[in-house]
Amino acid sequence: MLTGQKGREAEVSACQRVLRAKKSGFSLMELLIAGFILSIILGALFFSLTAGESAGSLGLAKADLQAKVRLIMDWIVKDVRQASLIQINTNFPSGDHIKFKKVTGIDDLTGSYTFSPDYTEYSYDSVSGNLTRSEVDNSGSVLRSLVFDNITQSPFYTADGVSLTQSPNPGNILEAKKLIIVIAAQSQVRNSRILNFSITEEAKIRNP
């Protein structure tokens, strides 16, 4: 009986020592290891969030730039397809400039085209990088204008890489009966990265 009693007392004493040890808290080494692991987890989480934000900003910037370039191309192609070769060629076209009156119909008596009263004009300034679409009256006064910025090259060509001023007959596209349009633009993202995007399209022009 005494032996059993002493054994139980020994077990109780051992349990009490364990409980006291647990109540004493973590050691310095355990705290350092836990802090190190926590810092790794927080660092990985921060890096993941930063990379995700950067990728999102870059993707949004690319989408905006592509939408802008396609919008400019749509404007020009739509306008040029309503022009005539003679209208473009008689208004001193170049790689940086075209001007014309839009065809509005055909005269029933003469069978010739009828034209809008005002001109549509596109002018590119390589210094500012601006491409300006203007509506101009016969006196040269600008009625309305729309400016597209950050354009990086001349837009108008008679063949791939051959601008109007470099063609065999400078300023003349009568033989080609088409205008090749290149819209190249750029934008800058927050981390100073430069994005570039361009598209090329061929616009067939009405016969004289």
Domain span holding position 76? 53-204
SS3 assignment, position 162: strand
- Cβ proximity of 180 and 160 under 8 Å: yes
Within a domain: residue 2? no
Residue partners of 186: CB distance under 8 A and separation at least 6: 65, 150, 152, 194, 195, 196, 197
Hunting for tokens 């090329």 — which residue is that? 200
Q: Which two tokens stand for residue 147?
A: 């400016």
Kindly report the backbone phi and psi dihedral angles of residue 119, in degrees, each rounded to the nearest multiple of 5, phi listed first.
Answer: -90, 150
Q: What pLDDT is attached to residue 146?
A: 95
Q: What pLDDT is attached to residue 138?
A: 92
Within a domain: residue 6? no
Within a domain: residue 74? yes
CA distance 62 to 80: 27
Within a domain: residue 31? no
Residue partners of 166: CB distance under 8 A and separation at least 6: 95
- Cβ proximity of 117 and 135 under 8 Å: no
Tell me how many domains the chain contains.
1
Within a domain: residue 150? yes
Whole-model pTM: value is: 0.69
Q: What pLDDT is attached to residue 1?
A: 47
The better pLDDT of the pair 154, 43 is held by 154
Q: Which two tokens stand for residue 182?
A: 């290149």
Cβ atoms within 10 Å, residue 206: 16
- 60-88 tens-digit pLDDT: 888 899 999 999 999 999 999 998 888 88
Please state which of the ranges 41-50, 60-69, 144-153 shows the lowest mean pLDDT.
41-50
When pLDDT is cut at 50, 70 and 90, the band that residue 174 belongs to is very low
CA distance 112 to 208: 9
Within a domain: residue 21? no
Within a domain: residue 158? yes
Q: Is the dihedral of CA 105, 108, 113, 116 positive or negative?
A: negative
When pLDDT is cut at 50, 70 and 90, the band that residue 208 belongs to is low
Q: For the chain, how many residues are written? A: 208
Instruction: Kindly tell me if the per-residue pLDDT of 36 is higher than 90.
Output: no
Within a domain: residue 48? no
